DNA sequence: ACTTAGATAAGAATGATTCTTACTTGGTAA
DNA sequence: TTACCAAGTAAGAATCATTCTTATCTAAGT
């Protein structure tokens, strides 16, 4: 979550068997700085462009997909088409606001645990489970304010 | 789940305040017959075309979106862009197979109940909850066979 | 039957993503 | 350090799913 140095980013790329090119380091740096957000390729491109005017949009598209294949980042599911990426590779869920179209991270260890326990009570045939997450659909009440979810004493 | 007659389809359209045009009835009929699947507009179009050669693809796109707005069908979330529709408007979850790219319905009342109970233990501020569902990610072991999930005596 | 707001067909336009190709570069090993 | 080359990139063309435009049509109310 804290910003990684370029050299740390380089190490992580190499650890995945990827050449640590300038372009990949910059794209990785930019997308990791967006932790908690779910950008499209164009947004990443616009952010890195001022300091790196020679990197092309096509490279950003390709690089983000390369990162997904290598597990460095994830895709996030969308309702209205369009590819969005998620710098957060920890198990977590998402809140979708149908007003603002925001996708908000929802990290809740108790929920993860609950689901894990639940799926132990199920016998899946012909399916190799990788992960699961929850989608919360609804609307922000005040679009400008944050959504918060706290534990409450039952 | 059992096929509705055209007249029943017409009634459902009217009940939503939609004009019951021939095109809407046919699109509705076609998409409802795909219960358990998650088609794109083009797939619906190809299915209805033989018997209805004058309906245009643009109308299918528009009609499906109209149905979503009216709550007659749902969108289903996708990882790789592209709009997919879901004839099943009951609360249910989805299994995503990364081999076959299939999206499989997963209906489990116990899971729904579990989530409902869970969210009672959470206090959401600034968020009006509408619904939630679970995404299961993984791979079919044998792509041609079905995935089944059964309760197992703990 | 008459009227009209809303719906449709056809095809043009758009825009996100992918593809192609000639050029460049990171990493490796002499 | 230098030479080498497999892999990566820039630029822009191509693709293709989706939306838009507009002239025409029709469902449903009067
Ligand atoms: Mn996330
Ligand atoms: Mn479904
Ligand atoms: Zn909202
Ligand atoms: Zn699979």
Contact predicate A31/A85, CB 8 Å? yes
Banded pLDDT at A76 (limits 50, 70, 90): very high
For A82-91, the pLDDT digits (tens) are 999 999 999 9
Measured distance CA(A149)–CA(A146) in Å, rounded? 10
Give residue B92 CA to ligand 2 midpoint distance, Å. 7
Let me know: does B32 contact B4? Beta carbons within 8 Å: yes
Q: Which residues of A touch B139 (CB under 8 A)?
A: 127-128, 130
**CB A138 to CB B121 under 8 A?**
no
Q: Which residues of A touch B118 (CB under 8 A)?
A: 110-111, 114
Model pTM score: 0.92
Exposure letters A27-57 (e unless 16+ CB within 10 A, then b): bbbbbbebeebbbbbebbbebbeeeeeebee
Distances in Å between the alpha carbon of A121 and those of A127, B93, B152? 15, 17, 5
In order of start, what are the domains of chain B with their CATH numbers? 6-86 (1.10.10.10), 93-138 (3.30.1490)
Report the pLDDT value the prediction gives residue B1, as an integer from 0 to 100: 60
Q: From the CA of A127, how many Å to the C1' of C30? A: 50
Tell me the pLDDT of chain B (154 aa) as tens digits.
668 899 999 999 999 999 999 999 999 999 999 999 999 999 999 999 999 999 999 999 999 999 999 999 999 999 998 999 999 999 999 999 998 999 999 999 999 999 999 999 999 999 999 999 999 999 999 999 999 999 987 6
Which residue do the tokens 């245009």 mark? Answer: B56
In angstroms, what is the span from residue B97 Cα to ligand 4's centroid? Answer: 4
pLDDT attached to residue A2: 66
CB A84 within 8 A of CB A102: no
pLDDT for B2: 67
Q: Is A5 on the interface with B (CB under 8 A)?
A: no
Distance A135 CA to ligand 3 centre (A): 14
Distances (CA, A) of B52 to B60, B61, B89: 12, 15, 26
Q: Which residue from B minimizes the CA distance to A85?
A: B79
């Amino acid at each position: 979550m804290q910003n990684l140095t370029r050299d740390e980013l380089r190490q992580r790329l190499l650890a995945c068997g990827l050449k640590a090119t300038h372009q990949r380091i910059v794209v990785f740096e930019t997308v990791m700085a967006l932790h908690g957000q779910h950008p499209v390729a164009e947004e990443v491109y616009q952010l890195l462009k001022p300091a790196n005017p020679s990197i092309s949009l096509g490279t950003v598209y390709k690089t983000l997909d390369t990162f997904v294949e290598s597990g460095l980042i994830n895709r996030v599911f969308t309702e209205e088409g369009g590819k969005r990426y998620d710098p957060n590779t920890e198990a977590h869920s998402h809140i979708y606001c149908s007003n603002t179209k925001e996708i908000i991270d929802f990290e809740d260890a108790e929920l993860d645990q609950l689901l894990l326990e639940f799926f132990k009570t199920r016998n899946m045939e012909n399916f190799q489970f990788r992960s699961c997450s929850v989608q919360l659909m609804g609307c922000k009440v005040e679009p400008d304010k944050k959504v918060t979810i706290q534990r409450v004493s039952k």
